[in-house]
Chains A and B, each alone.
Chain A
Amino acid sequence: MAKYKMHLLVCGGTGCRASASDTIVEDFKKELEAKGLKDEVQVVMTGCFGFCEKGPIVKVMPDNTFYTQVTPADVAEIVAEHVIKGRKVTRLLYSDPNADNKHISDSRHMGFYKKQIRVALRNCGFINPENIEEYIGREGYMAIGKALTEMTPQEVIDEIKKSGLRGRGGGGFPTGLKWEIASKNAADQKYVVCNADEGDPGAFMDRSVLEGDPHSIIEAMAICGYCIGATKGLVYIRAEYPLAIQRLKIAIDQAREYGLLGKSILGTSFDFDIELRYGAGAFVCGEETALIHSMEGHRGEPTVKPPFPAESGYLGKPTNVNNVETFANIPVILLKGSAWFASIGTEKSKGTKVFALAGKINNVGLIEVPMGTTLREVIFEIGGGIKDGKKFKAVQTGGPSGGCLTEKHLDTPIDFDNLVAAGSMMGSGGMIVMDEENCMVAVAKFYLEFTVEESCGKCSPCRIGNKRLYELLDKITKGEGTLEDLDRLRNLSQVIKDTALCGLGQTSPNPVLSTIDNFYSEYEAHVTDRKCPAGECKSLMQYVIDPEACVGCTACSRNCPVNAISGERKQPHLIDSAVCIKCGACIEKCKFSAISIK
């Protein structure tokens, strides 16, 4: 086989594929074939590079050139200029807005990548996830090889314990300890379950690992099976992830073909196989007991813990449930050693964490940073700061279970305990950044709307309590709230937190409590002044015609569906705010920009 002199890595994650990256791969192959370069240049479709804001991404190796926002129309130019003549296509290089738009071609020099340490994402953007041999080329399946031939199950568990790895799904429970408990409970059959439900809105860390490096999960689950004494693995994955499901299926089939799943793995007496189970998109099924019941064929409702799944889980047998990202860290801990892993991060939170940066931030995408990186570094250095130069207001971490962190928390080093102390939590890694135009009451209402919809209804505090919280917030955003309502919000939130059956209910009031604590004046303004300082709550806004700009053309009054606008021809018009339904039709029709929202 001829040796390739150049590799073209094209991002094949869902985000870039939505922007035709799969067409880019096909077009590259066709163009290279046409130019007779098929045997010299390899086109590789990889997993997510993380820089989703600037996708589709194409990385040229070995000269390490990072192209952004590539379209199928650019393929011919890249081949003609870069591949054949060695000249980089400058207009496709990343230009740093924080450095006078200077072009940067090596990703290691970019603010986005400089502080990242990719451990769980080590193979994403590097290998073709649909080719098991590329995974093997990067020491894939060596960890399970080492475990099966050189270590006893207890030795592997001890190594994971020493590494300090804590669950990445949000609970932060020490993984080694979890495996040890499951291994000690005797049974004729045990199960390893991978929680790939990823219900948090806006989170896509697990999706990217499954799309970009599915074999790491297969290998980790097998290692877990070896430790706890299970021969069966189940991946519970939400049906809304078709690409992740497809890649996982291909990976499992390939692993079976190569004898790395099934009977007598690597010539030892260890058997292990994996099945997929599909979720139907219920947020509550990310909770491990609800997940197990869903897999058993029942309605996804949680049950009280104890007994924990490690004692009695799937079909009543000892079951170990771990998140995708937790599993992704396992093979590399065994290969590089627990001491290496423990050298990254803070004292109580070791290793790295993958975050999905979203909201009003410049560099929207997926990042992986060592624990202990501060929020300021993540938002302003890696994230590139607030979009359109606006002012930072808050960052929501932990999704609907978390809280808002404000300016005074920006220098907090990110780890499990620090975030809880600051009134939020790590969660699975979603980070939504907000600016001065986000109304915090509306944010709390948005999250409650979500949790009300997703509540399974089994326990009254969550089923009824969350609904009442939502109704109170709705009232406030419509300008109908009172100061007593604010006290009610606080009290009810505490009651729900103390009495709900599962994690969903126990954490759903967090956005309310954290926004009321940090932004009380904003809630007050809604209630006492009937105003929304951020300008988001439409019901509290007034549509006003500027008498100096208005020429009296009557375009607005003729189009107002409720006849709220009065005025003579050629005279400035007036909107009656009592009648106005704030539909915005007048603004659309005004050719003189005379109408504004206050």
Chain B
Amino acid sequence: MAQIKSLADLKKMQADMLSKVELREKAESPESHVQIKVAMATCGIASGAKTVMEFFMDQLDKRGIGAVITQTGCMGYCYAEPTIEVTLPGQEPVVFGYVDTKKADEIIEKYIKTGELVDGIIPVNYEKID
């Protein structure tokens, strides 16, 4: 409920509020951002996928990487949970298995930031009908 006394105040408030409405902005055009889907079915949740999701949300924000993070149902790789699917803008999706916070960190630093592939990729064995 602050008084806005100058344009600088307004700009600051906008920057503060941006993170709150950003989620909706990015979701309108997800292809231009990094898309991460975290499998959160029973096997995923039991293996700690929630922690991984929160880690991504927190760290990507801190490291200034714009991303759309959603949860999905079971992707089928129950033996390798927690699993995530990462789609960099303009690229094919890549699925990673056995993701804990340490692996998530590696994925952010290596794959998301530089495109360098990381161990533990599960080869794609499905096709999407859209």
Contact = CB atoms under 8 A, between A and B. Distances in A.
Interface of A: 3-5, 7, 9, 61-64, 85-87, 108, 126-127, 133-134, 136-142, 145, 148-149, 257-260, 266-267
28 contacts: A3-B19, A4-B23, A5-B57, A7-B23, A7-B24, A9-B24, A62-B24, A62-B70, A63-B27, A85-B41, A86-B71, A86-B72, A108-B28, A126-B24, A134-B21, A136-B17, A137-B14, A137-B17, A137-B20, A137-B21, A140-B14, A141-B10, A145-B10, A145-B11, A258-B2, A258-B3, A259-B3, A267-B7
B31 to A, nearest CB: 10
A138 B40 contact: no
Nearest to A146: B7
Contacts of B21: 126-127, 134, 137-138
B109 interface: no
Give the secondary structure class of B's interface: helix
B69 A137 contact: no
Contacts of B30: 62, 64
A61 B69 CA distance: 10
A344 B17 CA distance: 30
A139 B26 CA distance: 15
A141 B7 CA distance: 9
B36 to A, nearest CB: 10
Contacts of A145: 7, 10-11
Nearest to B40: A86
Contacts of B72: 86
B4 to A, nearest CB: 5
A9 B24 CA distance: 9
Contacts of B65: none
B53 interface: yes
B73 A62 contact: no
B124 interface: no
Contact of A62 (B1, B18, B58, B68): B68
Interface in B81-98: none
Contacts of A257: 1, 3
Given A136-B13, A141-B10, A259 B5 contact: yes
A149 B70 CA distance: 41
Contacts of B26: 62
B6 interface: yes
Nearest to B44: A86
B57 A3 contact: yes
B83 to A, nearest CB: 13
A438 to B, nearest CB: 38
A134 B7 contact: no
A149 B7 contact: yes
Contacts of A141: 4, 10
Contacts of A149: 7
Nearest to A61: B27
B65 to A, nearest CB: 15
B40 A133 contact: no
A136 B10 contact: yes
B17 A142 contact: no
A140 B10 CA distance: 9
Contact of A266 (B1, B6, B54): B6
Contacts of B20: 4, 133-134, 137
Given A134-B17, A136-B14, A258 B70 contact: no
A61 B24 contact: yes
B4 A266 contact: yes
Nearest to B53: A5
Nearest to A148: B7
A288 to B, nearest CB: 33
A63 B70 contact: yes
A126 B22 CA distance: 11
Contacts of B14: 136-137, 139-140, 142
A376 B85 CA distance: 41
B127 to A, nearest CB: 18
A87 B73 contact: yes
A133 B4 CA distance: 11
B73 A137 contact: no
A137 B6 CA distance: 16
Interface string B22-47: 01111110100000000011000000
B3 to A, nearest CB: 4
A266 B5 CA distance: 5
Given A5-B71, A145-B7, 16 more contacts: A5-B57, A61-B23, A62-B23, A62-B24, A62-B70, A63-B27, A64-B30, A86-B41, A86-B71, A134-B20, A134-B21, A136-B17, A145-B11, A148-B7, A257-B1, A266-B9
Contacts of B28: 64, 108
